[in-house]
Chain A
Amino acid sequence: MQNKEQAFLSHVAKVLGRDRPLLKPPKRDEVGPPAFWKEQKFDIDHPLAFFKRNLENLTGRVYIAKDSKDVSQQVNAWLEELQAKRVIMWDHEELKKVVAIQDAKVKVDYWTAKGPKRKMMEAAERADVGITWADYGIGYTGTLALFSSPIQGRSVSLLPTVHIAILKKENLVPTMSTVMNDIIQRRGNNSVPAAVDFITGPSRTSDIEMDLSIGVHGPVKVWVIVLDD
């Protein structure tokens, strides 16, 4: 296998006019986005306003909560509106602190580190609503960034019909650059999560006659509560 790899890379090097594959990093003048972008020399003074407008344009909803009680109330109001019967939630300390589901008729499952894997996945598949704690919100595009971990299952934001994400205002950033830099930092100490998901509105397709249709495989609705306390 290694030999094959060597042969492959040597061939690539050869057609590029080198005797053998480059082993030292080549010099680069510029990395990543244009300078004006990195320095944020453009109109993005109010990331929250951007975030709200962008996500709402994609049929999303954004509620700005003033405290954790407000978050919980809003979640419960939304669950009632959706007539949700089953909910799956990340077993996330901060999330559990702000979300208490009041309706006893709603069955709540948690995505935990030790839970039976297949069972949790099936619970997510049956759930009407999945609730997550977003690592980042990105204003410029109305995007959520979710990092995977044992308690942050990917299925929770993917399989239920509706995805509700709770986001702290301090984690709302103007552009994707901040998230990319976070990943690069983590790379240094080997703690890049197994998966990073950027989610911008609901699942959609225009594959049939260019007719926009919402919710083909992933959630039909993506609603966000921003905690601004």
Chain B
Amino acid sequence: MSHRPTVHLRERSKRAVKDEQMRKAVEKAVDRLSGNRLKAEREMPNWDEWREQGKRIRKHTVNHLDYYLGQLAESVRNKGGHIYFAQTATEAQEIIIKICKEKNAKLIAKSKSMVTEEIHLNLALEKENMKVVETDLAEYILQLAGETPSHIIVPAIHKNRYQIAELFSKVAGQKIEPDTPSLTTFARKTLRKTFMAADVGITGCNFAIADTGAISLVTNEGNARMVTSLPKVLISVMGMERVLPTFEDLEVMLSLLPRHATGQKLTSYISVVNAPRSKDEGDGAEEFHLVIVDNGRSKLLADEEYRQALHCIRCGACFNVCPVYRQIGGHAYGSVYSGPIGAVITPFLQDDFDFWGELAYATTLCGACSAACAVKIPLHDLLINIRRTRVELGFTHPLEKMGFKMWRRIFKIPGRYKFAMKFGSFAQRPFMNDGYIQSGPPPLANWTNSRYFPAAADKTFREIWQEKNK
């Protein structure tokens, strides 16, 4: 079950940078989302206090995850729900397939869920001859296109209306006009049938409430409400960190998440599913199954620094401010979770620091992600940590190792340093142009292939200092 890209990150980025349409779309999306977030922050009193409180709550919960997961399991069972724990993606798939088979499910309606993307659930269900339909508009588009999300809030942002119209027209068997109202109307009509006919509904879970055993879903379209209200069986899948102690804590997350994600005061729908429907209720699921997934998260949890990545509430604000994401979009990362948070968690979820650890280089370490984070995760520090871990594990290129060894030998001794600086400003002359090295010799070429290298000044700082003090 390998979902690993076949080309290297460098090549993936190069291709992405050439995709003008995608880059324009991403730019528009991230600027809009970031602008909305900043406006929402200004409107909400004492914004920073909210973020601090959010951080405290997430930290407390994650630090006591064993307790809260145990409590959650108990609460769900007490109300007649079913609870499952899956250590791996495969285990999670097996659990869900088993439930669906027992219910003789033929048609499954899904609402947007990153964790089900992570465990590649759709493929697994389709292999069992069950039809799975994504019902979030963006996910529906991606399913028709056979693509993966490129942003966790607006997953199909890389597709334009003409491409979408083409996909929908194929399904409709007639031309669907490439304007937003026609496209959404078509999706509404088509997916309505799915909601009404589905045997099983599958959702993710934004936050589960440990002391009550409820789950909550934060959405705008209403598809998650359909999926939780209409089919007789509901399966919700959650990463094991997606839990909160009480409903009071949920209010904090609901203040942070929509504002940070899209700048909304609240999304159109917050759907809280607390229990299977009561005896006389006419809608809502009769059966509720909650699947809790580890899939590498306990490796993050084991380290006090990396553990902070589990505080994440998936608002996507770090995507929207990241200068790297802005240029290459989500697909170049090659992972299910892209953006800064994706670069941090993917090596753990995939248990591979060699290949996936390289994502930690798809960053400028500018710290914009940490500054934008709803719960103040120091993302850029964690990215540096991953680089360090890679060095410790011996995954760095031999030339890089040699380079740094030499650098250390030179910089350790003032005389050598002085000489190196002088030599550098002399040796660079053949390559210099307008104060930059625009095309350097190897190994500098790796840098200058994609950007100019600032040339060293004629005089070193020490020389200028000495002249001034004469």
Q: Measuring CB to CB, which residues of chain A are less than 8 angstroms from any residue of chain B?
A: 1, 4-5, 8-13, 15-16, 18, 21-26, 28-34, 36-37, 42-43, 54, 111-115, 117, 120-122, 125, 140-143, 148-150, 153-155, 158, 175-177, 180-181, 183-184, 187, 192-211, 213, 215-219
Q: B199 contacts the other chain (Cβ, under 8 Å)?
A: no
Closest to B62 in A: A16
CB distance from A87 to the nearest CB of B (A): 17
- Other contacts beyond A192-B275, A208-B180: 18, CB < 8 A: A1-B84, A11-B87, A26-B60, A28-B60, A30-B53, A31-B246, A33-B53, A120-B283, A148-B284, A150-B279, A153-B283, A155-B283, A158-B229, A194-B281, A194-B284, A198-B266, A206-B154, A210-B157
Any A CB within 8 A of the CB of B63? yes
B58 within 8 A of A: no
Binding site secondary structure of chain A:
loop
Contact assessment for B225 and A125 in the assembled complex, using a CB-CB cutoff below 8 Å: no
Question: B247, A42: Cβ atoms under 8 Å?
Answer: no
Q: Which of B184-192, B402-410, B434-442 contacts A (4 or more CB under 8 A)?
A: B184-192
Q: Which residues of B contact A (CB under 8 A)?
A: 25, 28-29, 32, 45-46, 49-50, 52-53, 56-57, 60, 63-67, 69-71, 73, 83-85, 87, 135-138, 141, 154-157, 160-161, 164, 180-181, 183-184, 187-188, 191-192, 195-196, 211-212, 214, 220-223, 225-226, 228-230, 240, 245-252, 254-255, 262, 264-284, 292, 294, 298-299, 301-302
A13 to B66 alpha-carbon distance, docked (Å) = 5
Q: Are B221 and A204 in contact (CB under 8 A)?
A: yes
A138 to chain B, nearest CB (A): 8
**B137 contacts A184, C-beta separation under 8 Å:** no
Instruction: Name the contact of A184 in the complex, choosing from B65, B222, B248 (C-beta under 8 A).
Output: B248
The CA of A61 and the CA of B65, in the complex, are separated in Å by 43
A194 touches B274 (CB 8 A): yes
Q: Are A213 and B180 in contact (CB under 8 A)?
A: yes
Distance in angstroms between the alpha carbons of A187 and B269 in the assembled complex: 22
A106 and B157 alpha carbons, distance in the complex (Å): 42
Q: Do B212 and A187 touch (CB < 8 A)? A: yes
A203 to B46, CA, bound (A): 29
Let me know if A32 and B251 touch, CB within 8 A. yes
A155 to B272, CA, bound (A): 15
Contact B267 A205 (CB under 8 A): no
Q: Check B301–A200 contact: CB distance below 8 A.
A: no
Q: Which of B52, B70, B228, B249 is in CB contact (< 8 Å) with A21?
A: B70
Contact between chains at A217 and B222 (CB < 8 Å): yes
Residues from chain A with a CB closer than 8 A to the CB of B298 are 11-12, 15
| Contacting pair B66 A22 (CB below 8 A) | yes
Q: Which residues of B contact A140 (CB under 8 A)?
A: 265
The answer to whether B25 and A207 touch across the interface, beta carbons within 8 angstroms, is: no
CB distance from A13 to the nearest CB of B (A): 4
* Chain B residue, CB-CB nearest to A198: B270
Contact indicator B268/A218 (Cβ below 8 Å)? yes
A207/B156 contact (C-beta < 8 A), A15-B301, A115-B282 known: yes
